[in-house]
DNA sequence: AGCTTGAGCGCC
DNA sequence: AAAAGGCGCTCAAGCT
């Protein structure tokens, strides 16, 4: 059963029950309090709550202490269906551009203004959009039922991801300000009272100025720094630590130390801590499906880029533990399953797929296995990685064939799709790849540029199918885990997800439940594999650590 | 004054 | 050791 929610979460709300056939009952009009009461009373029947945008509706429920188990996010669904190859010729695809298209655009910034007054925005009626999405899926099912099932799964998984993202933001990740502050003081010196450069950084800046004989140098200014380095006789073209590391000069050591400290200060310094950590919790803003491939992004806080340096500040509460689980070599396992490549799946039967490649005699060392596999996934064109490719192709023709085919498709300027049906964008109007290459009268330089553009786009589509399908697996994994964690709750508390990092999850749990959580994480991974790939015998191996501090994992 | 761009570096 | 796919975020510089 579906209940479509329209209106505004803190104003007036209409609930419209829609049955599986898409027939809507009479809408019920409620005020904000009535809305909360209605959700509370209907939730035990496990309806699927349908709303325009989870980020708009769910926070109000969470603040009222109300979780929901299942939902349908129309904004996320619209974006998938609008761009999917599978929906060509369907009514949703052919509909004139409307506010759902705007809201579904990658920026997503306009979502709030668009939906604040919900149904009153032209063409934004969620009941109509929900029915249209159902019709679209039905139409896909008529020609390809399996394709429609996968798209339906994708919409459900992403909707659940959106619930999880809001729940993680609401609860936050346990974060010890004192540990973080101690780390900052150790690395940078005491917090400057009125902003400005901390003492240890300033001392390093002085060393740099002395070594370069440039008393007024601001090491934060890339052009100034580059000029000063050249004046000191160093042959450099940039100021990255990559370039600098090769050089021998008294300035290099303090300069590298300065860059490291400046990075820590600006990305995760005191200002960051004040902005993002409250009451011992870091509240990240995830953007579900924020990346074209379907991976998540963040908006502020940088939860997906927490540097190793500060992970020690993530500490379980007293009497609680952190269970950190990481899917090992996820993308190779994904392409093995997509291509139904028995040989690669067998190599992944080892806990370490790279070691499995060595044991199978494909390559001689684990390092070679890793670099070869990354080359296959990213489209290496040179170096060790490219040299090892033929061995992989011989050993795993199906899996490698799948990513090669995705690359060729992209080079022609065509779309590729993930396992569940998210399609890659079509190249922009200024893309000159395939067409320009095929014209014989193109100037040589244009021709070269066109070929380069085609190859670049091919590397993107090659990676898209693996990265995007891995993201789908990960959302199914998390959705299953979320459900299992609920069942583990007891009087000691309830374990809950606190971090998601592409192929890694963290659960904050009462310590006595840590083993059960580890079991749940494993079972959820197995479930996700079966949900996507049925009985194809591919293992999704996990590395699981129960720790009190994030920096103890791995 | 406010916006975009590029360099740089952190993550998977 | 480097390279290849996807990002976010910050700063300074360059632009309007």
CATH number listed for the domain at residues A332-469: 1.10.150.20
Residue A146 CB partners (closer than 8 Å, separation 6+): none
Does residue A18 contact residue A2 with C-beta atoms inside 8 Å?
yes
Distance of CA A18 to the CA centre of its chain: 32
User: Of the candidates A68, A90, A72, which has an alpha carbon nearest to the alpha carbon of residue A81?
Assistant: A90
Residue A231 CB partners (closer than 8 Å, separation 6+): A212, A214
Per DSSP, chain A holds a count of helices (H) and strands (E) of 23, 14
**Angle, CA of A480, A482 and A486, to the nearest 5°:** 120
Distance of CA A409 to the CA centre of its chain: 24
In angstroms, the CA of A291 and the C1' of C7 are apart by: 7
Sole residue written with tokens 């909707």: A159
Question: Which bases of chain C come closer than 7 Å to a protein CB?
Answer: 1-14
Distance of CA A106 to the CA centre of its chain: 13
* Nucleotide closest to residue A290 (CA–C1'): C7
- Is there contact between A278 and strand B, defined as CB under 7 Å from any strand atom? no
Does residue A72 contact residue A160 with C-beta atoms inside 8 Å?
no
Q: How far apart are the first and last CA of chain A?
A: 43
Query: Looking at beta carbons, which pairs linking A94-102 to residues 24 or more positions away fall under 8 Å?
Result: A95/A132, A98/A122, A98/A123, A98/A124, A99/A123, A99/A124, A100/A74, A100/A75, A100/A124, A100/A129
Strand partners, A321: A509
In angstroms, the CA of A219 and the C1' of C12 are apart by: 11
* Nucleotide closest to residue A260 (CA–C1'): B9
* Nucleotide closest to residue A237 (CA–C1'): B7
In angstroms, the CA of A458 and the C1' of C3 are apart by: 16
Question: Which bases of chain B come closer than 7 Å to a protein CB?
Answer: 6-12
pTM: 0.94
CATH number listed for the domain at residues A177-273: 1.20.1060
Q: Which 3 state secondary structure label does DSSP give A318?
A: coil
CATH architecture of A285-330+472-552: 2-Layer Sandwich (3.30)
In angstroms, the CA of A321 and the C1' of C4 are apart by: 37
Asked if domains A2-171 and A177-273 share a fold, the reply is: no
pLDDT of residue A238: 85
In angstroms, the CA of A278 and the C1' of B10 are apart by: 23
At A496, which helix (H) or strand (E)?
strand A496-500
Written as one string, the DSSP assignment of A250-306 is TTHHHHHHHHHHHHHHHHHSHHHHHHHEETTEE---EETT-STTS--EESSS-GGG-
In angstroms, the CA of A405 and the C1' of B8 are apart by: 34
Q: What pLDDT tens digit does each residue of chain A (554 aa) get?
A: 899 999 988 889 999 999 888 888 999 999 999 999 999 999 999 999 999 999 999 999 999 999 999 999 999 999 999 999 999 999 888 887 777 876 655 444 444 444 444 444 555 789 999 999 999 999 999 999 999 999 999 999 999 999 999 999 999 999 999 999 999 999 999 998 877 789 999 999 999 999 999 988 889 888 889 889 988 888 888 888 888 887 888 999 899 999 989 989 988 999 899 989 999 999 998 999 988 999 999 887 889 889 888 999 999 999 999 999 999 999 999 999 999 999 999 999 978 999 999 999 999 999 999 999 999 998 887 788 888 889 999 999 999 999 999 999 999 999 999 999 999 998 876 666 655 555 555 566 667 778 888 888 999 999 999 999 999 999 999 999 999 999 999 999 999 999 999 999 999 999 999 999 999 999 999 999 999 999 999 999 999 999 999 999 87
* Nucleotide closest to residue A306 (CA–C1'): B11
Does residue A38 contact residue A28 with C-beta atoms inside 8 Å?
yes
pLDDT of residue A117: 44
> Where does residue A514 rank: exposed (0-12), middle (13-18), buried (19+ CB within 10 A)?
buried
Does residue A368 contact residue A384 with C-beta atoms inside 8 Å?
yes
Written as one string, the DSSP assignment of A12-80 is -EEEEEE-TT--B---EEE-HHHHHHHHHHHGGG--EEEES-HHHHHHHHHHTT---SEEEEHHHHHHH
pLDDT of residue A438: 54
Indicate the domain borders of chain A: 2-171, 177-273, 285-330+472-552, 332-469
- Is there contact between A307 and strand B, defined as CB under 7 Å from any strand atom? yes
- Is there contact between A304 and strand B, defined as CB under 7 Å from any strand atom? yes
Sole residue written with tokens 């604040």: A116
Q: Which CATH number fits domain A2-171: 1.10.760, 2.60.40, 3.20.20, 3.30.420?
A: 3.30.420
């Amino acid at each position: 059963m579906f209940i479509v929610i329209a209106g505004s979460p803190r104003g007036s709300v209409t609930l419209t029950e829609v049955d599986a056939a898409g027939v809507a009952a009479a809408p019920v009009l409620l005020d904000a309090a009535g809305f909360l009461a209605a959700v509370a009373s209907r939730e035990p029947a496990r309806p699927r709550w349908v709303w325009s945008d989870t980020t708009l509706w769910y926070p109000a429920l969470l603040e009222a202490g109300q979780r929901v188990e299942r939902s349908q996010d129309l904004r996320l669904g619209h974006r998938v269906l609008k761009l999917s190859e599978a929906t060509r010729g369907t009514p949703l695809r052919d509909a004139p551009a409307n506010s759902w298209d705007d809201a579904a655009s990658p920026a997503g910034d306009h979502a709030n203004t668009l939906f604040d007054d919900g149904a009153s925005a032209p063409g934004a009626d969620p009941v109509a959009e929900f029915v249209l999405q159902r019709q679209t899926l039905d139409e896909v099912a008529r020609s390809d039922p399996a394709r429609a099932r996968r798209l339906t799964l994708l919409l459900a998984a992403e909707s659940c991801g959106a619930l999880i993202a809001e729940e993680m933001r609401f609860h936050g990740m346990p974060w010890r300000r004192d540990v973080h502050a101690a780390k900052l003081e150790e690395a940078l010196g005491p917090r400057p009272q009125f902003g400005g450069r901390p003492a240890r950084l300033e001392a390093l800046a002085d060393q740099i100025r002395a070594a370069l004989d440039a008393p007024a140098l601001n090491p934060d200014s890339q052009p100034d720094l580059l000029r000063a380095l050249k004046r000191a006789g160093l042959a450099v073209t940039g100021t990255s630590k990559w370039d600098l590391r090769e050089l021998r000069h008294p300035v290099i050591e303090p300069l590298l130390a300065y860059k490291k400290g400046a990075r820590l200060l600006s990305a995760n310094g005191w200002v960051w801590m004040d902005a993002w950590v409250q009451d011992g919790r870091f509240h990240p803003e995830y953007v579900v499906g924020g990346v074209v491939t379907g991976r998540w992004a963040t908006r502020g806080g940088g939860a997906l880029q927490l540097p190793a340096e500060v992970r020690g500040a993530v500490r379980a509460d007293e009497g609680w533990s952190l269970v950190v689980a990481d899917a090992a070599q996820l993308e190779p396992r994904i392409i093995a399953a997509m291509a139904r490549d028995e040989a690669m799946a067998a190599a992944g039967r080892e806990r370490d797929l790279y070691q499995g490649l060595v044991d199978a005699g494909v390559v001689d060392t684990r390092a070679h296995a890793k670099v070869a596999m990354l080359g296959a996934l990213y489209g290496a064109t040179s170096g060790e990685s490219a040299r090892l490719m033929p061995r992989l192709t011989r050993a795993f023709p199906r899996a490698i064939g799948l990513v090669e085919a995705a690359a060729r498709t992209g080079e022609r300027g065509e779309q590729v799709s993930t396992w569940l049906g998210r399609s890659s964008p079509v190249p922009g109007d200024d893309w000159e790849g395939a067409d320009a290459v095929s014209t014989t009268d193109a100037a040589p330089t244009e021709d070269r540029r066109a070929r380069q553009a085609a190859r670049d786009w091919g590397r993107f589509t090659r990676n898209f199918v693996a990265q995007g399908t891995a993201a789908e697996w990960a959302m199914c994994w998390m959705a299953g885990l979320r459900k299992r964690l609920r069942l583990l709750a007891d009087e000691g508390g309830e374990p809950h997800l606190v971090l998601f990092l592409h192929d890694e999850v963290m659960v904050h749990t009462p310590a006595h439940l840590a083993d059960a959580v580890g079991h749940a994480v494993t079972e959820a991974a197995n479930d996700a594999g079966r949900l996507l790939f049925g009985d194809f015998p591919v293992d999704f191996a996990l590395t699981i650590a129960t720790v009190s501090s994030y920096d103890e994992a791995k």
